[in-house]
Amino acid sequence: MTRFRFTVEYDGRPFMGWQRQAHGPSVQGAIAAAIMDITGETVEVFASGRTDAGVHAHAMPAHADIEKTITPFRLMEAINARLKPQPVAILDCAEAPDWHARFDCTGRRYRYRIVNRRAPLTFDAGLAWRVPTPLDADAMHAAAQRLVGRHDFTTFRSAQCQASSPLRTLDRLDVTRIGEEIHVVAAARSFLHHQVRSMVGCLKMVGSGQWSADDLAAALAARDRDALGLNAPPDGLYFVGAIYPKLSVGFTL
């Protein structure tokens, strides 16, 4: 039995999310089906995180245990061939004994893309959130720092969240403008269900002048989902990297 580590990229639009679902296609299911076709084995594919329906990934670490003797390169090529035409690709594959994609992960990073323009999206439709009204990225970044640190994030947590505690330590929440795009980068050991999207939605309200930084802080302090201003759509959210002891998978942001 060999454990293989994968780095996975995918466009989340056709999927119900990473995790296998009974009511629709999943990224996990697509990769497991490809491995079954190659090896005849039923495998469980574990990932460092679980993205929601419509959320994308640039560099999602994952692993699977396979009995068949095969080199990492041949396995990667075979999986990619069988994933077509689904928008999923294995970017890298290596043997990884004594390594677990989920339980060994000590940090996760997401990036959210806002396209701040009047014109509709063409190439980026479904891959970014278009906000037509002008946004003040500097005000958004300043307000975002009120969320950094260890807090009760109940306000920014989905009602369907299954985490045992709403307490999370947010290591980084940066907002930058690059031309007509605004990027929000969030880093933490782990996130609650919808936490990043909920934070981005409220930061958009700050950027448009609907909320102040104090309003954002008050929403956090309320510890009440009803205090949430706005939940951003999944379109602009990307899993971009994970941190492991002696290993970093993803982009430097």
Q: Which range (17-26, 36-45, 189-198, 244-253) has the least confidence?
A: 244-253
> C-alpha distances in angstroms, 126 versus 92, 113, 237?
26, 11, 10
Chain-centre distance of CA 69, in angstroms? 32
- Can you list the alpha helix ranges (DSSP code H) found in 40-107? 72-83
249 pLDDT above the threshold of 90: no
- % helix, strand, coil for the chain, step of 5: 25, 30, 40
pLDDT of residue 127: 97
61-87 mean pLDDT: 97
CATH assignment of 2-95, given 3.30.70.580, 3.90.550.10, 3.10.129.10, 1.10.287.810?
Answer: 3.30.70.580
pLDDT of residue 161: 87
pLDDT tens, 115-142?
999 999 999 999 999 999 999 999 999 9
Give the count of beta carbons closer than 10 Å to the beta carbon of residue 84.
10
146 pLDDT above the threshold of 70: yes
Nearest to 210 by CA among 155, 157, 131: 131
211 pLDDT above the threshold of 90: yes
85-110 mean pLDDT: 96
Say how far apart CA 249 and CA 6 lie, in whole Å: 10
pLDDT of residue 253: 46
Q: Report the chain's mean pLDDT, rounded to a whole number.
A: 95
- The CATH T-level fold of domain 107-245 is Alpha-Beta Plaits (3.30.70)
What is the residue extent of each domain of the chain?
2-95, 107-245
Q: What is the pTM of this model?
A: 0.94
pLDDT tens, 219-230?
999 999 999 999
The catalytic site residues sit at 52
pLDDT of residue 159: 85
Say how far apart CA 68 and CA 4 lie, in whole Å: 11
Say if strands 107-115 and 129-130 run parallel, antiparallel, or are unpaired.
parallel
Chain-centre distance of CA 43, in angstroms? 23
46 pLDDT above the threshold of 70: yes
Domains 2-95 and 107-245 share a fold: yes
Say how far apart CA 197 and CA 112 lie, in whole Å: 8
